[in-house]
Structure 1
Amino acid sequence: MGITALVLGIIGIVLGLAVFLFWLSWLPALLAVIFGIIGLSYVRKGTANNRGMALGGVIMGGIGLLLSVGGGVISVLVVKGANDSAEDNVLQVEASAEAEDREAVEKAEREAEAAAAARRLSFGEPFLFENGLKVTVEKPKPFEPDEFANGHAKGNKAIEVTITVVNTGKKPAPIESMPYVFDAAGADTDLVIDGSGRQKILHDSIPPGKQAIGRYAFSLPPTAANRAEVEFTPVLMDLNMPDARWSGSL
């Protein structure tokens, strides 16, 4: 029993010193303690004389158990530290991705706001569309409809909107649109049509380096006739072509 306890104690210590084999060291260490205690009992009864071996087996078995517990604790701490580190890395990656996404969204919003602001102009300022058409809406002038005019109510204020379009590109550019005019209250106004022949509708296409001028008349209510806003895009059905707006006092 003493020899067995001593051998098992040595095996338990060796396995316990190899930290990642702690799960193997506890069994021989525990058996070393048990056999060592049995061996000491035989010594007390006088049936054995190897007290030193039995006692050494108990001591070494106890050390092996401590090493097994220590190895388990160390392994738990190592695994926990690795998990915490992995979680921290995941959180950092997620936070970095969220920050990049947020920055990208904010950048896109800033660019959209800047693009929208660039399309808000005062009367007389030119705006260059992506297809090469440079559009200028002049400050509206008073317009006197004839007696056969349609779209103009008595007491309203009629204005003439002049739109100049220059093709700065290298190929013909189509124009398929009509301007929209809003009064000072933001309400859509009525297009005035009469028989004077003064109105001129922009249509067809403009050759490179050429210009076209369109003239339109609109009727504003007297309560909101102090300011107007003109919205225009060369090709109304092209959803990829944003509109531009000119505004100012009348």
Structure 2
Amino acid sequence: MSYDTQVPPTAAPLTPMRNGLGTAALILGIIGTLSGLIPLLFWLAGILGLIALILGLVGKGRVKRGEANNKGVTLTGAILGLAALVLSVVGMVITFTAVSDAVDEIDKAIKDSAPKDPSAKAPADSSKAPAAEKGTSLADGDTSVYDDDLQVTVSDPKPYTPGEYAVGHTKGNKAYQVTVVIENAGKEKFDTALANVSARAGKNSVTAEQVFDGKTGAGFEGTVLPGKKATAIFVFDAPKDAGNLTVEVNPGWDYNASQWELKIG
């Protein structure tokens, strides 16, 4: 008597998930990002961020092939690695800038503490002053000459009729145009970008608004080479009964402004 014994099939062994790279990417990404928040640790953030990004990308490939099932962890690790790289660049810039500023300050302190040469001439005032005494107003056609031989001249104001769509003109007021000439008699080129022209009018010195109507108001542009000059026309709005117009010209941040007292009306 024989018995037919049937052996049940054995289940195929499960392949273990290879989640190590994703987990490592997440841990290194977190540490790298935190390091990036401290500028001095930019180097550490850069190294850890790069490794985390690489491990995250490799781990993502494993997830696609079904060899790993921690897609969220892997993706987060790669993103944190990229963030750490960005923070490392920012930290590097901040650190190098701070070091450069510190070196400049040290050099300046060393120069300031060095013994002075009695025969050396004292440095000129960093703010270039006009030849005219401070507080003295100039008349129309007068020229203000600065220490670096920059010359500014303001002409006699002339009545001006603003256009229909002019900006800055108030109905009932009068408008006057003045011509400002900047001549560079020095040896260095002069940038007119920072030149500022303003005005006040009347006995109460109210602000005279600058008028823009497409024909005037552009101001100065470009650079004036040595031996050359630049001319610009400005139009200012003044009360109808104003008898004077005070025009102030400041060639730049390191210059003192000059004023012209002009008669109008």
Structure with the greater alpha carbon radius of gyration: 1
Question: What is the TM-score normalised by the length of structure 1?
Answer: 0.50
